[in-house]
Amino acid sequence: MKSLCGLTASEISELAECDERHALAIANWLYKRKSDDLMLVKGLSRKAKEKLMETSCPGIYDPVSSLRSADGTVKFLFSNEDGKEFETVLMSNPKRTTVCVSSQSGCRMGCPFCATGHYGFRGDLSVRDILNQVLGPGIDGKVTHVVFMGMGEPMDNLDNVLKACDIMTAEWGMAISPRNITVSTVGITPGVRKFLDSCECNLALSLFSPFPEERLKSVPAEGKYPAREILEVMKSARTGKKRRMSVAYIMIRDMNDTRGHLEGLKELLRDTGIRVNLLPYHSVPGDGNVSSPMETMNHFKHELVISGISASIRKSAGADIFAACGLLASGLK
């Protein structure tokens, strides 16, 4: 049977052999109501519902397991019909509900400081797999924000990521504002260009270091797709776009948190309008590196801000269950 989850309204219309009005009713039921019972779709005759049930199913599946952090963060483990495993993180507070989704099972970018990189590449996730992480059980209330900062490199599975973003932002879909969806990348220049031309969602570049030769050691993609080139693409795409461009800078003590690195960041980002998110480092198993102290992170933030560069320190969540940045797949065998 064909899964409805992952289809656009027009694709649902073609599958169900129904008009646009009925297709929109099915899409609204699927992406907003989260129901498994096709008989509950409003606006369809019983005969149409029965015909739909003969050829299709909702396609929403349960996670295999979950872990709850002491800070309330929840990590879900999913396994799709092909046996690919991937993790999702749910972070909630009174103001917002954020889901950190994966775009691949594993990753082939090979960054040494990321647990997902050590896990290896197991395959791309389908649009259905990506959307299930937002629609799946265990998420109470409306999801307000989505970040593609889980397992995988979104630009390496771009067509499925773009389609998932289309469904998330469509009025007939999840109706999440594009300004509340952020896609993070280590940088694949053609993918970044296509992404910025194709949707209005936010983009975050994982930088690690302002110096190309140093970044190359930790972000192998730097060799083919230099960060400076990608930052120029991001800068030029800002005109007329209601989206945020940012740099994620994970700070490691005595590795990328020196005065030289701070000055390098200033030189690289001054007058670009690109925001800097400073993140604490979480050691992967077998790694002796540690995060920069908070005093250093606060100093970086202060110096960037007084230099005219917007900056913030992002609070870590779920580290005790290996749900924080760079740790997804730590719990997988």
Q: DSSP of 204-232, one letter per residue? A: EEE-S-SSHHHHHHH-GGGGTS-HHHHHH
pLDDT of residue 34: 60
Domain segments of the chain as ranges: 2-57, 65-321
Higher pLDDT, 95 or 220: 220
| pLDDT tens by residue, 200-217 | 999 999 999 999 999 999
pLDDT of residue 179: 94
Residue range 24-48: average pLDDT?
83
Q: Check whether 240 has a pLDDT greater than 60.
A: no
85: closest CA among 109, 64, 61, 101? Answer: 64
The percentage of the chain sitting over the pLDDT mark of 90, rounded to a whole number, equals 68
Judged by average pLDDT, the poorest of 133-147, 183-197, 242-256 is 133-147
Confidence band, pLDDT 50/70/90 cuts, at residue 40:
confident
Q: CATH number for the 2-57 domain, one of 1.25.10, 1.10.150, 1.10.3470, 3.40.1350?
A: 1.10.150
pLDDT of residue 16: 84
Q: Check whether 322 has a pLDDT greater than 90.
A: no
Angle between helix 259-269 and 227-236 (nearest 10):
40
pLDDT of residue 49: 83
Residue range 280-296: average pLDDT?
87
Confidence band, pLDDT 50/70/90 cuts, at residue 164:
very high
The percentage of the chain sitting over the pLDDT mark of 70, rounded to a whole number, equals 94
Confidence band, pLDDT 50/70/90 cuts, at residue 324:
low
- H helix or E strand, kind and range, residue 129: helix 127-135
CATH no. for 65-321: 3.20.20.70
pTM of the model: 0.94
Higher pLDDT, 45 or 183: 183
CB 190 within 8 A of CB 229: no
Confidence band, pLDDT 50/70/90 cuts, at residue 269:
very high
Written as six digits, the tokens of 223 are 């060799």
For the question of residue 325 being annotated catalytic, the response is yes
Q: Check whether 36 has a pLDDT greater than 80.
A: no
Q: Is residue 145 left, alpha or beta, with left meaning phi > 0 and alpha meaning psi from -120 to 50?
A: beta
Q: Check whether 176 has a pLDDT greater than 80.
A: yes
pLDDT of residue 312: 97
Judged by average pLDDT, the poorest of 133-137, 159-163, 184-188, 242-246 is 133-137
DSSP letter at 291 equals B
Confidence band, pLDDT 50/70/90 cuts, at residue 220:
very high
Angle between helix 158-169 and 189-198 (nearest 10):
20
pLDDT of residue 131: 96
Residue range 104-116: average pLDDT?
91
Q: Check whether 299 has a pLDDT greater than 70.
A: yes
Q: Check whether 330 has a pLDDT greater than 80.
A: no
DSSP letter at 332 equals -
Which residue in 85, 87, 153, 222 is the catalytic one? 87
Residue range 70-80: average pLDDT?
92
Confidence band, pLDDT 50/70/90 cuts, at residue 287:
confident
pLDDT of residue 141: 65
CB 80 within 8 A of CB 124: no
pLDDT of residue 105: 96
